[in-house]
Amino acid sequence: MKFTLGKEERLKSRKRIETLFKESQAVRSPAVLVLYHFPNEVGDKTQAMFTVSKRNFKRAHDRNFIKRYLRESYRLQKHTLTVSRPIHLCFTFTGKQLPEYDYIFKKVGQALLEINKSTQLHEKN
């Protein structure tokens, strides 16, 4: 099992990001909001993007610090995401204070488990 987050696993296409925000479903935990969408295009891979609000964190180095924690948490826990088809994800940190790594790691793991539960319920119905 590879614990990498390569270039092809990052969501960068403007068109795909727009469809993610238009047609997504959300999973909320106290400090992390995760939007997810199953793309219809053939050949898509599971991709993720990470954002932090400029409203809550004025300094770029604080936003970059939090995004680094989000990326690392997702990279180590993405194997827990057991969906049968590709998925696009957007992790947004919504907290007001600089978090610790353990806190973000736990919240990202909870969000991925919630996505698993909701997709399994959808596939059964």
pLDDT at residue 5 in the model: 86
Predicted TM-score (pTM) of this structure = 0.91
Helix, strand, coil share of the chain (percent; to 5): 45, 20, 35
Q: Where are the alpha helices (DSSP H) in the chain?
A: 14-23, 60-77, 101-124
The pLDDT of residue 1 is 67
Domain ranges across the chain: 8-116
pLDDT confidence tier of residue 4, bands split at 50, 70 and 90: confident
> If you average pLDDT over residues 25-38, what whole number do you get?
92
Architecture of domain 8-116: 2-Layer Sandwich (3.30)
User: Tell me: the pLDDT tens digits for 57-113?
Assistant: 999 999 999 999 999 999 999 999 988 889 999 999 999 999 999 999 999 999 999
Q: Per-residue pLDDT for 125 more than 90?
A: no
- How many C-beta atoms lie closer than 10 Å to residue 109's C-beta? 16
